[in-house]
Structure 1
Amino acid sequence: MAEMSLIQLACDYLVVGAGAASIAFIDTLLTEHPTTNIVLVDRNPVPGGHWVNAYGYVRLHQPSLVYGVASRQLEGNWLRLLLGKFTLPWNHRASKDEILEYYAAYIRDKVATGRVRYFPNSQYSFDAREEDDGDGGGERRLHCFSSMDGSRYSVEVGIKLINGVLGECIIPSLSPVDFHVDDGVRVVTPNQIFDVHHRLDVEKTRRYVVLGCGKTAMDTVVYLQREMNVVPNRISWIIPNDVWMLQRGMGSPWSWHEALLEHGNDEREACMSLERRGVFVRLDPDVIPTKFRFPVVGKDELALMRLVTDRIRGGRVTSITRQLDTGRIVVAFGSDRDTWTPDRTIDSADLIFVHCTSPGPFNGNENVDLFASEHQLNLNLLFPPPVPLSMSVLAYLEAARISDSLDMSFARQLFQASKTETLDEQASYTESCETISDNEVLRRLISATDLSQGNAVKPFQIMLNLGMFLAIGNKDPIVVYKFLKQNRLSFLSIPGSKVGVYEAFGLLMEQAETFVLAPNEIRLMKLLRERLRVLEGK
């Protein structure tokens, strides 16, 4: 059979991945620069990223008000919510089906405008690309992808490749457990629990062991009780680490970093103060959590989780085996930990382990350059979750760059302040600031936020990214501030919210020793604070 010919395409931006990150980026880019031409490539059959393969009972942690894309409400018509569903708009949390339909409708609409060409069921190869000189002597950037039907494409990208898959969630349905499990031991994913529940009645004798401490495990413990009517004493929960949780409606993902600033980078006191205010909650009043990874729970969910009293805290599971002589199941946690064996009265045939141990968004790709090169932008978090705000901000920066409205003159001042260590080096750094590319300046000033270690993230990195955006996104910081205020994905869109960045830099500089700030970091913050004085009190 003859090899299928290569289909030639051309665009301004080639976006890889059609998940929450990429679609939020595309939306703001098209809003700020409407003539942009985009090719969107995704391996899934429909847009939505990890939501496509997520378990059926998943919902947003946070309100729908701050998720999705900036130009379109996810919660839908407010009057219809109030009168038809008796739901306050800020209480609406979209289901999996609602999210997938939202993204599908958005992409359909953008494809209809001709500005987006969408290629589902397609695989992009980050290795199979080349750069060479075109007929006119300019640089041509060629990229390749292929579709499941065998079609092969070559894309000439005029401006940039956008890597939108770095923050992709690794979920149980697509990620087997990473430890040994004997034959005969039943390990299922949350997706399978959902599917079985909708096919047949739950057998009364079944016992469930939930593996994991993240939001997937929390959702599963709640779902087993609320929807499957499994009584709590038929559920065991293996918890590798207790985690702090945000109580829904009592704070925001920014609360953690604000508390660290308020309490001089004392993590324990910051957590305790948030707990006293009802912002943080924990599963067990007698166990102090060791991590905070931004899960959001409601009071009703927390109450159901606390009903499960058989909690096993042995650490990470290393194997699940079945004894040949007795048939009993043994869960191991490593050579230095005690094993756990379910109650002798439980028949192993009735025991179901629910795999919720995948890393989710903490997939190991957090520490990458955002501004990878002149021709590639990597989508990764600037701020705490939800994801879409960071991507909308990156799109605003990119649109400002191609519109020449970034304040690169001030950005170079910041770059110089961040790198100059002594007066003797001033001249050489001044020279490098003049010759270095705009992209390199942005790469060194704005960094992806690493949330993989939970509490370990530097609180000032979040504020630095926010300050940088406000300071260089436009020659007038008020213009950028108004963009955030009017952006439905932004925390500033919530009535009464304040940006607080001017004040935050003041606190950081006052506590320079506590936060172990280097001299260049202090200089950088001082410059930013002077520039952002117009935002004092806002």
Structure 2
Amino acid sequence: MADFETDYLIVGAGAVGLAFADTLLDEDPDCHITFVDKHARPGGHWNDAYSFVALHQPSATYGVNSMAFPSEQIDTHGPNKGLFALASGAEVLAYFEKVMNMRLLPSGRVAYHHLSEFRGRDSDGVARMRKILSGEESSIRVRRKLVDATFYQTSVPSTHTRNFSEGEGVRVVPPGALPELWKRPDGLPEHYVILGAGKTAMDTAVWLIEAGVDPDAISWVRPRESWLWNRLYTQPGEDFIETVMRFQVGMFDAAIGAADGDEMMELMGEGGFFLRIDPEVRPEMCHYATISQGEIDILRRITRVIRKGRVKSVELGKLHFEDATVEVPQGSLCVDCTARAVPFEASKESGPLFRGDRIVLQPLHTPLVTFSAALTAFIEANFDSDEEKNALGAPGPLTDTPATFPYAQMVNMMNRGIWAQNPKISAWLAKSRLDLASRTIAKLIAEGSPKIAALQQVRDKIGEGMPALVRLGMQAKAIHEAA
């Protein structure tokens, strides 16, 4: 006999698991949900992130469907000026604690086992759980489904294993250590070396410069340059709806005019929809990091950029690469930003979302992970067979490069086409705070707003450009699957 029983056992109480549970509570009023999570608090990897981390996307389109962030106003200063606010890491954690403690647990239909490890299921389907601090083991009988909310395997600097070696006396720290430097006023670095080219490295560079560090006192190891989503085109609400639609038209224009994914990204870059730090270097990476022009302007102030590939080892005054050694000041502090936010090994688990007695949460619209999880819960509660559910949305691929970018966009648009034809899903999208534009479009249509005229331009452009996007998408799919 099991120690506990539940209808849905969710492994992982991060953003994705919470978004799924939040929607499922509303859509299935009879179900019981249990969380098993290793962290001491809800919020997943946000518990481990560096202190100055913030959302890359507007807070207004992140989190769970039922609860807004406390402040979803327009920023009036800083590099994000004029755009919707980005919640800080502390604000995100406080938000998810509120979701758990004021929304989920008070329902009486949610159980939450924190600091607990999921240990798999027995042959009879009973799940095993172990308390991390005590080692106590218990069992959970799952009446309906196991929900895997760990697909993304999000990695952050404080928890990942470094893939380079360090010589004696070298100072290497994660970004989270930087705000503590004030405690050692006599040992402040004379020079900083940022290792890594992703959004964590960009956040670190912006933080250092805004903290007063001279850009000339920063060396930046960037193995690959990246295309970055211009945050201007990810804004929710009526004031930005025409801008969002302009992005859609621009994407299809780029697909029509491109021979491959790289050229499609170049064309979108020329249109300002995607940005890059160095306009003279062609990006080889595209991980959906979102950034403002203000941040780009700050990052361009760093001119000591090292492009020799990934660091293999670090010694006092030297960085060793595969085929080169680069000297840096002896007293440099190396900041390790090499963790990959989403390890692309996660793709090995990719496949149907609905798998009998198991649901594997994956992106239905890349890269909107909480929206995808909430929509998956809606589909679970409102449709019957796995065959029917899986036909309502294919998982989007975790692509890595401009060459494979069209594959994800093709899947996004195909899924959107399916949802537009389904009355249940269309009605849900029209009310969802997590979807970028659907709720705003529904409101403007109801009001007869002149702004909705741009919607017909998007529809016309989709009809014209979808064959081109499919052509590029299938080409990119072959590249992605061969990698």
TM-score by length of 1: 0.75
Q: Hey, what's the Cα distance between the residues in 1 that align with 2:15 and 2:360?
A: 14
**Is residue 53–residue 88 contact of structure 2 (8 Å, CA) maintained in 1?**
yes
Does structure 1 residue 384 correspond to structure 2 residue 366?
yes
Supply the AA of the counterpart residue of 2:92: I
Does structure 1 residue 181 correspond to structure 2 residue 174?
no
Secondary structure at the aligned position of 1:209 is classed as strand
Of stretches 66-75 and 289-298 in structure 1, the one that deviates more from structure 2 is 289-298
1:167 is matched with 152
**Is residue 353–residue 362 contact of structure 2 (8 Å, CA) maintained in 1?**
no
The structure with more radius of gyration:
1
Aligned partner of 1:282 among 276, 283, 288: 276
Q: Hey, what's the Cα distance between the residues in 2 that align with 1:119 and 1:41?
A: 5
In structure 2, stretches of 5+ residues that fail to align are 236-243, 442-451, 476-483
- Percent of aligned pairs sharing the same letter: 28
Relative to structure 1, the CA distance from residue 501 to residue 53 in structure 2 (aligned partners, 3 Å threshold; closer, same or farther) is: farther
Q: How does 1:221-232 map to 2 (within 5 A)?
A: 221-227=205-211, 229-232=212-215
Secondary structure at the aligned position of 2:386 is classed as helix
Q: Hey, what's the Cα distance between the residues in 2 that align with 1:18 and 1:304?
A: 35
Give the 4+ runs in structure 1 shifted more than 6 A.
Answer: none
Secondary structure at the aligned position of 1:246 is classed as strand
Report the alpha carbon displacement of residue 311 of structure 1 after superposing the two structures with TM: 0.2
2:479 is matched with none
Aligned partner of 1:47 among 42, 47, 59: 42
**Is residue 369–residue 443 contact of structure 1 (8 Å, CA) maintained in 2?**
no
**Is residue 64–residue 93 contact of structure 1 (8 Å, CA) maintained in 2?**
yes
Report the alpha carbon displacement of residue 358 of structure 1 after superposing the two structures with TM: 0.8
Relative to structure 1, the CA distance from residue 470 to residue 41 in structure 2 (aligned partners, 3 Å threshold; closer, same or farther) is: farther
Relative to structure 1, the CA distance from residue 89 to residue 52 in structure 2 (aligned partners, 3 Å threshold; closer, same or farther) is: farther
2:376 is matched with 394
1:102 is matched with 95
**Is residue 234–residue 436 contact of structure 2 (8 Å, CA) maintained in 1?**
no
Aligned partner of 2:142 among 157, 168, 180: 157
**Is residue 362–residue 452 contact of structure 1 (8 Å, CA) maintained in 2?**
no
Relative to structure 1, the CA distance from residue 165 to residue 88 in structure 2 (aligned partners, 3 Å threshold; closer, same or farther) is: same
Supply the AA of the counterpart residue of 1:210: I
Q: Hey, what's the Cα distance between the residues in 2 that align with 1:512 and 1:21?
A: 29
1:210 is matched with 194
2:177 is matched with 192
Secondary structure at the aligned position of 2:300 is classed as helix
Provide, for residues 429-466 of structure 1, a one-character-per-residue CA deviation record: whole Å limited to 9, x for no partner: xxxxxxxxx32565577432222423314132222233
**Is residue 383–residue 449 contact of structure 1 (8 Å, CA) maintained in 2?**
yes
Provide, for residues 39-93 of structure 1, a one-character-per-residue CA deviation record: whole Å limited to 9, x for no partner: 1110000000110000000111111010000111014476xx899xxx9995211
Aligned partner of 1:364 among 345, 369, 377: 345
**Higher-RCO chain (CA-CA 8 Å, sequence separation at least 6):** 2
Q: Hey, what's the Cα distance between the residues in 1 that align with 2:302 and 2:118?
A: 44
Provide, for residues 488-523 of structure 1, a one-character-per-residue CA deviation record: whole Å limited to 9, x for no partner: 110223456859689646633477666558xxxxxx
Report the alpha carbon displacement of residue 275 of structure 1 after superposing the two structures with TM: 2.4
Secondary structure at the aligned position of 2:54 is classed as coil
Report the alpha carbon displacement of residue 178 of structure 1 after superposing the two structures with TM: 0.9
Does structure 1 residue 450 correspond to structure 2 residue 397?
yes
2:324 is matched with 338
2:26 is matched with 31
Q: Hey, what's the Cα distance between the residues in 2 that align with 1:203 and 1:494?
A: 52
Of stretches 208-217 and 250-259 in structure 1, the one that deviates more from structure 2 is 250-259
Aligned partner of 2:424 among 479, 485, 492: 479
Relative to structure 1, the CA distance from residue 122 to residue 200 in structure 2 (aligned partners, 3 Å threshold; closer, same or farther) is: same
Number of equivalent positions: 443
**Is residue 23–residue 69 contact of structure 1 (8 Å, CA) maintained in 2?**
yes
Aligned partner of 2:411 among 453, 461, 471: 461
Q: How does 1:56-95 map to 2 (within 5 A)?
A: 56-76=51-71, 91-95=84-88
Q: How does 1:256-335 map to 2 (within 5 A)?
A: 258=252, 260-264=254-258, 266-322=260-316, 329-334=317-322
Supply the AA of the counterpart residue of 2:136: S
In structure 1, stretches of 5+ residues that fail to align are 1-5, 133-140, 323-328, 405-437, 472-476, 518-538
**Is residue 10–residue 147 contact of structure 2 (8 Å, CA) maintained in 1?**
yes
Q: Hey, what's the Cα distance between the residues in 2 that align with 1:206 and 1:516?
A: 50
**Is residue 51–residue 100 contact of structure 1 (8 Å, CA) maintained in 2?**
yes
1:237 is matched with 220
Relative to structure 1, the CA distance from residue 503 to residue 397 in structure 2 (aligned partners, 3 Å threshold; closer, same or farther) is: farther
Secondary structure at the aligned position of 1:91 is classed as coil
**Is residue 75–residue 93 contact of structure 1 (8 Å, CA) maintained in 2?**
no
Of stretches 215-224 and 300-309 in structure 1, the one that deviates more from structure 2 is 300-309
Report the alpha carbon displacement of residue 352 of structure 1 after superposing the two structures with TM: 0.7
Provide, for residues 158-217 of structure 1, a one-character-per-residue CA deviation record: whole Å limited to 9, x for no partner: 1100000111311110013112222221111011113334x3448565210001111000
TM-score by length of 2: 0.84
Relative to structure 1, the CA distance from residue 31 to residue 234 in structure 2 (aligned partners, 3 Å threshold; closer, same or farther) is: same
Supply the AA of the counterpart residue of 1:379: L
Relative to structure 1, the CA distance from residue 247 to residue 444 in structure 2 (aligned partners, 3 Å threshold; closer, same or farther) is: closer
Secondary structure at the aligned position of 1:311 is classed as strand
**Is residue 8–residue 33 contact of structure 2 (8 Å, CA) maintained in 1?**
yes
2:444 is matched with none
**Is residue 364–residue 452 contact of structure 1 (8 Å, CA) maintained in 2?**
no
Report the alpha carbon displacement of residue 151 of structure 1 after superposing the two structures with TM: 2.8
Supply the AA of the counterpart residue of 1:309: T
Report the alpha carbon displacement of residue 292 of structure 1 after superposing the two structures with TM: 1.7
